[in-house]
Amino acid sequence: MKNHNPPTPSPPAAARVVSGMRPTGALHLGHFHGVLGSWLQLQPTHDCLFFVADWHAMTGAGARVPREEAVYEMVLDWLAAGIDPARATLFIQSRMPEHAELFTLLALHTPLAWLQRVPGFREKQASHPSYGLLGYPLLQAADILAYRGEWVPVGQDQSAHLELAREVARRMNLAVGSALFPEPQALLSASPRLPGLDGHKMSKSRGNTIAMREAPERTRDKLAQMPTDPQRVRRHDPGEPARCPVWALHEVSTPPDQREALAAGCRSARIGCLDCKGQLADALLPQQARWRERAAAYQEQPKQVHWMVEMGTERARSLARRTLKDLRQGLGLHA
């Protein structure tokens, strides 16, 4: 199942990376391979700021204020995956009024037409006609520019939002007469969008997910339910891994040499779909066990997790305040 994004340039070492996730509670495999995997690769060598995008979670029809439990369950999965607060700055968006101030200053300089042309706005405005929806991509720009972010891990569907952030950065630089803001570049994930239990994209809204910290027996049961190659009706029919949703999970979980043997066995019908799913479980369960073990250690010390986020929020605030001070001076505003 080859649905990988095209390669993107690698950011230079020490470049600043900014990225956020909406707080939906405990994360699933799609989150790990779509976002967290990129974060893990970047944090050893780059200046990374990762934030809980709880304001963004409130944008949309029927959206509500995220529960605190959902916020810290997500942070717990970040830590379980290996995100290190000693290397990356972790913080909560709504704790940063600086984002709101920068959003306001950006809004005063951003043409309405720029926001109206962002893909998806016209489709959504009928069900949720709010300024919050219209300004959503501009708030994203504020999230990035507050830290003068240079690189942003995003999905293909967010590339238009990042293009807007670059346009806004250019316009603000003209307004202040200096290169205050870098133009943030996209880092597209190299991992495919993982299919869920029904063969569609793994998503909590579809109820088709496998959680990062799923119990072993639940993981095996869920894998057993997944659809396989639709053209392989009987056990002795040859299959094709590229047509099978399960194969996408093998590509991110199973060692290459084992995958080659599995692919050959599928195409020759030497192995059945249940055999293939069993080997996937054998590859996936040890990784989930490591995530559960790390999470359990943090669960025993919940105050430590809150302290990590508190310290990250304070560091983020100092960076954002510096940006706003420079912007106010450039615009001629009183300090």
User: Does any domain span residue 10?
Assistant: no
User: Which amino acid type is present at position 246?
Assistant: V
* Whether 39 and 127 share a structural domain: yes
Q: Do residues 88 and 185 share a domain?
A: yes
Residue 3 in domain = no
Q: Is 298 exposed, middle or buried (0-12, 13-18, 19+ CB in 10 A)?
A: middle
> Are 137 and 233 in a shared domain?
no
Residue 289 in this model has a pLDDT that exceeds 50: yes
3-state secondary structure of 151: strand
In a domain, 253, yes or no: yes
The model's confidence at residue 189, banded by pLDDT at 50, 70 and 90, is: confident
**Count of Cβ atoms closer than 10 Å to residue 217 Cβ:** 9
Average pLDDT score over residue span 213-241: 95
Counting DSSP H helices and E strands in the chain, the numbers are: 14, 5
Same domain, 110 and 235: no
Q: How many CB atoms lie within 10 A of CB 316?
A: 25
Boundaries of domain holding 32: 16-193+302-331
Which of 42, 82, 35 is closest to 193 using CA atoms?
35
Residue (of 269, 277, 302, 284) closest to 29 by Cα position = 284
Read off the CATH number of the domain in which 254 is found. 1.10.240.10
Q: How open is the CA angle 144-136-321, to the nearest 5 degrees? A: 35
- Angstrom CA distances, 114 to 55, 91, 107, 110, 119, stand at 21, 29, 11, 7, 11
- Judge whether 218 lies within some domain: yes
Is residue 198 a part of any domain in this protein? Answer: no
Provide the b/e sequence for 63-73 (b: ≥16 CB within 10 Å): eeebeeebbbb
**CATH number where 30 lies:** 3.40.50.620
Cα distances (angstroms) measured from residue 233 to each of 122, 126, 227, 236: 43, 43, 11, 9
Confidence (pLDDT) at 192: 62
- 52/158 same-domain check: yes
> Mean per-residue pLDDT for 198-213?
94
- Comparing 100-104, 116-120, 190-194, the range with the smallest average pLDDT is 190-194
Q: Which residues pair with 201 in a beta bridge?
A: 195
pLDDT digits (tens, 9 = 90+) for 56-112: 998 865 678 889 999 999 999 999 999 999 999 999 999 999 999 999 999 999 999
213 and 179 part of one domain: no
The reply to whether 54 and 131 lie within a common domain is yes
Please check whether residue 267 is in contact with residue 240, taking contact to mean a CB–CB distance below 8 angstroms: yes
Residues 6+ apart with CB under 8 A from 130: 59
Question: Is the four-CA dihedral 107, 331, 142, 97 of positive or negative sign?
Answer: negative
- Rounded CA separation 137/145 (Å): 12
Band of the pLDDT at 4, cuts 50, 70, 90? very low
The two beta strands, 151-154 and 88-92, are unpaired
Mention every residue, 6+ apart, whose C-beta is less than 8 A from residue 179.
173
DSSP 46: S
**Domain co-membership, 291 together with 312:** no
pLDDT attached to residue 10: 67
Handedness of CA 307, 309, 312, 314 (dihedral sign): negative
Residues 238 and 179 in one domain: no
Q: How far apart are CA 288 and CA 290, in angstroms?
A: 5
Decide if pLDDT at 5 tops 60.
Answer: no
As for how many domains the chain has, the answer is 2
168-182 mean pLDDT: 97
Q: Domain for residue 1, yes or no? A: no
Instruction: Report pLDDT for 1.
Output: 42
For residue 8, is it within any domain?
no
* 290 domain residue, yes or no: yes
Tell me how far apart the alpha carbons of residues 102 and 99 are, in angstroms, rounded to a whole number. 5
Closest CA to 198 of 266, 151, 245: 245
**DSSP-assigned states of every residue in 71-83:** HHHHHHHHHHHT-
Q: Are residues 63 and 161 in the same domain?
A: yes
- Cβ neighbors of 308 (< 8 A, separation 6 or more) are 79, 85, 90
Tell me the pLDDT band of 3, cut-offs 50, 70 and 90: very low
Whether 145 and 222 share a structural domain: no
C-alpha to C-alpha distance for 196 and 208, rounded to whole angstroms: 5
- Is 31 in the same domain as 115? yes
